[in-house]
Amino acid sequence: QDNRISIWSVGDLGNVSLNGEYQGEPQLLCDIRHNGDVMDMQFLDQERIVVASSTGTVTVFRHHQNNQTLSANQRWEKAHYHVDQYTSCGGAACTGVICNNPEIVTVGEDGRINLFKADHKDAVRTIDNADSSTLHAVTFLRATEILTVNSIGQLKIWDLRQQRNEPSQIFSLTGDRVPLHCVDRHPNKQHIVATGGQDGMLSIWDIRQGTMPVSLLNAHEAEMWEVHFHPSNPDHLFTCSEDGSLWHWDTSTDISEKPSFLHQAGNSTTYFSHNTINQSEISAWLSNDPTKDRMEITNLIPNQTLSVNSLDVLGPCLVYGTDAEAIYVNRHLFA
């Protein structure tokens, strides 16, 4: 009922238990009220956070580090709406936001795409009827191109330089029109994209070829809420789900050099046989069946039962939030 944006400090690296869980109490540095449910949020730069609301409003909050306060820096009221922006109940949830400072792209339940610029009052560009169904997530492919996923299993590429309001390419899961909830682009190979959706499957796409995924991998038993390539080590991918699991997918080449943390989860680590392949020539993600190459899948929280709603990963740290109203920090991904 009462939503807040909060900034936490998780302290120094000293207090880590053997299994990598942070032991000290995280400190709440500051928080601020937020109107509506927080649907998505992303840092724009060191101080500013862009937040998507279920009311359709997009707000930029500034974190003042000198006195540890948060303030609303900029707001686009009802950036997403069903009927018109001016009726009191007209807002449509803003479901996803992605930043490439100073640019901010938002998508929503209204099938609308907005391109904003920090410190500009009005939208730089709006594609009103980008989609007839809900857009669930968006990512940048490159500075002028974005990729959206929707509730009927489609990926669409949009070239923001083009004035036409049509996607430049459409890809789709064959058959079932399974809603896609999340998307991430490989940090080094911009043609490789991962998506996840309602059926819990992980799909890997090569947007240079065909209109269907290169591989479909059985993953979670319920909706997949988030998928992230590791930003500096993209052989590693992380997915989380309504079924309470958080999976680490590892396609790096040599099992003998594997960090031992993969064995922590005991029998939830899966090994696959490997037929040797020149990894520098082909990303393991793009082989028709990545499980034929060397791939390990580990459930990092084997006994969890409540939904894992969100995750992020940076360096050796993994952060995730669950329906237990808790935020977890694992600092030893690569122990």
DSSP secondary structure, 67-118, as one string: TTEEEEEEEETTSSBSS-TTSTT-B--EEEEEEETTEEEEEETTS-EEEEET
Residue 211 CB coordination number (10 Å): 13
- Checking if the pLDDT of 272 tops 70, the result is no
For residue 182, give every residue at least 6 positions away whose Cβ sits within 8 Å of its Cβ, in sequence order, or none: 136, 137, 149, 195, 196, 197, 224, 225, 226, 227
- Is 1-14+27-130 a domain of CATH 2.130.10.10? yes
Q: According to the model, what pLDDT value does residue 266 have?
A: 34
The token duo for 39 is 């649907």
pLDDT band at 112 (very low <50, low <70, confident <90, very high): very high
DSSP assignment letter at 264? T
Query: Are the C-beta atoms of residues 22 and 10 closer than 8 Å to each other?
Result: yes
Query: Are the C-beta atoms of residues 22 and 15 closer than 8 Å to each other?
Result: yes
Amino acid at 183: V
Q: According to the model, what pLDDT value does residue 304 have?
A: 80
Q: pTM score, two decimals?
A: 0.86
- Give the mean model confidence (pLDDT) for residues 223-251: 96
Which phi-psi region, left, alpha or beta, contains residue 14 (left: φ > 0; alpha: ψ -120 to 50)?
Answer: alpha
Mean of all residue pLDDT scores within the chain? 86
- Checking if the pLDDT of 161 tops 60, the result is yes
DSSP secondary structure, 198-257, as one string: TT--EEEEETTS-SS-SEEE---SS-EEEEEE-SS-TTEEEEEETTS-EEEEE--S-GGG
Based on C-alpha coordinates, what's the Rg of the chain?
Answer: 20
pLDDT band at 70 (very low <50, low <70, confident <90, very high): very high
Query: What does the alpha-carbon distance between residue 304 and residue 268 come to, in Å, rounded to a whole number?
Result: 13
Query: What does the alpha-carbon distance between residue 40 and residue 47 come to, in Å, rounded to a whole number?
Result: 17
The residue written with tokens 């990303």 in the block is 283
- Checking if the pLDDT of 290 tops 80, the result is no
Query: Are the C-beta atoms of residues 134 and 154 closer than 8 Å to each other?
Result: no
Q: According to the model, what pLDDT value does residue 279 have?
A: 39
- Checking if the pLDDT of 255 tops 60, the result is no
CA-CA distances (angstroms) from residue 272 to 294, 321, 322, 332? 6, 29, 29, 24
Q: According to the model, what pLDDT value does residue 167 have?
A: 96
pLDDT band at 173 (very low <50, low <70, confident <90, very high): confident
- Give the mean model confidence (pLDDT) for residues 5-20: 72
- Give the mean model confidence (pLDDT) for residues 116-125: 95
The three-state secondary structure class of 292 is helix
Q: According to the model, what pLDDT value does residue 174 have?
A: 74
Query: Are the C-beta atoms of residues 73 and 102 closer than 8 Å to each other?
Result: no
- Give the mean model confidence (pLDDT) for residues 232-245: 96
Among 120, 76, 116, 74, CA closest to 98? 116
Query: What does the alpha-carbon distance between residue 309 and residue 20 come to, in Å, rounded to a whole number?
Result: 21
